[in-house]
Each structure stands twice: as structure tokens, then as C-alpha cells.
């Protein structure tokens, strides 16, 4: 039972970290706020967001393997696959902003140029889509935890 509680805590901590850092990206990635310092910060914030996402996945898998309900209970429930599907979609969507932040930082360091407004808006839109999709995962999670989908 202690292991279950620790795994649940670590999973929630990773989720909250992920949410905080995608929110930070959304707040920073604005045309009116983007300057050299923000370009540098976005790359760092996105790196922590990515590490938190990996931690969410790792702790989620750990909960299915070592948790009380076990792999048979989780992996046969279609709601787990919905959660994973949403998580994968978010992960794929996050590739573009990540590559964009590195490109912005490289250009800034090379010649001091900031990104174009259209590029900032496009990137922010993808960050916002991710943030809104993340909000759907707990909805599926509460139904999964209560045995729906079985």
C-alpha cells in the first residue's frame, strides 16, 4: 500500500510539473513579451516540460506495473488507451515548439534576431492546444480510476 501511495504521489507531482511548465510556455510565448531573455528562457522551460512529460509517462507505467490494480486491470481498459492516445498527441504536438525554441535561440545567439510575429503566434497556438488537451486527461483518468470502461 505504501508503494501505491508513493507511485501516486510521484505521478501527480510529475503531472503538476508538466502543467506548470506548459502554462509558463503559454505565458511567455507572446508577441508583446518576447525579447532575448524570453527566447532563452523558453528553451529552458520547454526542456523541463519535456522532462516532466517523461516522468509522467514513467510514473504512469510504474503505477500499472507495481500498483495495486496491476497491468491486467489497466491495460485491458480502453480508457487507459484514450489517456495514452491524448498523451501521445500532446507529445507529437510539442515537437514543433521545442524545435522552434531551439531555432529561435540559435538565431538570437548568431545574429541577435528575434522571431517574426507570425512564427510566435503559430508556436503559441500549438502550446495552447497542448495545454487544453492536457486538461482532458484527468477527466479520462477519474473515470478510469473508478472502473469505467471495463
Domain boundaries, the chain: 2-145
| d(C-alpha 49, C-alpha 15), whole Å | 10
- Mean of the per-residue pLDDT values for the chain? 96
- pLDDT computed for residue 97 by the predictor: 98
| Predicted confidence (pLDDT) at residue 150 exceeds the cutoff of 80 | no
> Can you say how many angstroms the Cα of residue 69 is from the centroid of all Cα atoms in its chain?
25
69-74, Cβ contacts within 8 angstroms, sequence gap of 24 or more: 73/150, 74/144
How many degrees, rounded to 5, is the angle at CA 100 between CA 91 and CA 120? 105
- pLDDT computed for residue 15 by the predictor: 96
Residues 131-149 have pLDDT tens digits of 999 999 999 999 998 988 8
Residue 116 gets which letter from DSSP? P
Q: Who contacts 53 (Cβ-Cβ below 8 Å, separation ≥6)?
A: 18, 87, 90, 91, 94
| Predicted confidence (pLDDT) at residue 1 exceeds the cutoff of 90 | no
The pTM (predicted TM-score) of the whole model is 0.93
Residues 77-103 have pLDDT tens digits of 999 999 999 999 999 999 999 999 999
Residues counted in the chain: 150
Q: Is the dihedral of CA 68, 150, 142, 84 positive or negative?
A: positive
Proportion of the chain above pLDDT 90, given as a percent = 93
Proportion of the chain above pLDDT 70, given as a percent = 100
Amino acid at each position: 500500500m505504501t508503494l501505491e501511495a508513493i507511485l501516486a504521489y510521484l505521478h501527480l507531482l510529475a503531472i503538476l510539473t508538466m502543467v506548470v511548465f506548459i502554462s509558463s510556455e503559454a505565458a511567455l510565448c507572446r508577441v508583446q513579451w518576447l525579447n532575448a531573455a524570453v527566447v532563452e528562457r523558453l528553451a529552458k522551460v520547454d526542456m523541463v516540460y519535456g522532462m516532466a512529460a517523461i516522468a509522467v509517462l514513467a510514473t504512469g507505467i510504474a503505477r500499472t506495473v507495481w500498483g495495486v490494480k496491476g497491468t491486467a486491470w489497466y491495460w485491458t481498459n480502453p480508457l487507459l488507451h484514450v489517456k495514452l492516445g491524448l498523451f501521445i498527441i500532446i507529445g507529437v504536438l510539442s515537437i514543433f515548439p521545442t524545435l522552434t525554441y531551439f531555432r529561435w535561440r540559435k538565431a538570437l545567439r548568431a545574429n541577435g534576431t528575434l522571431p517574426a510575429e507570425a512564427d510566435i503566434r503559430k508556436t503559441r497556438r500549438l502550446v495552447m492546444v497542448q495545454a487544453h488537451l492536457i486538461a482532458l486527461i484527468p477527466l479520462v483518468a477519474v473515470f478510469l480510476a473508478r472502473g469505467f470502461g471495463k
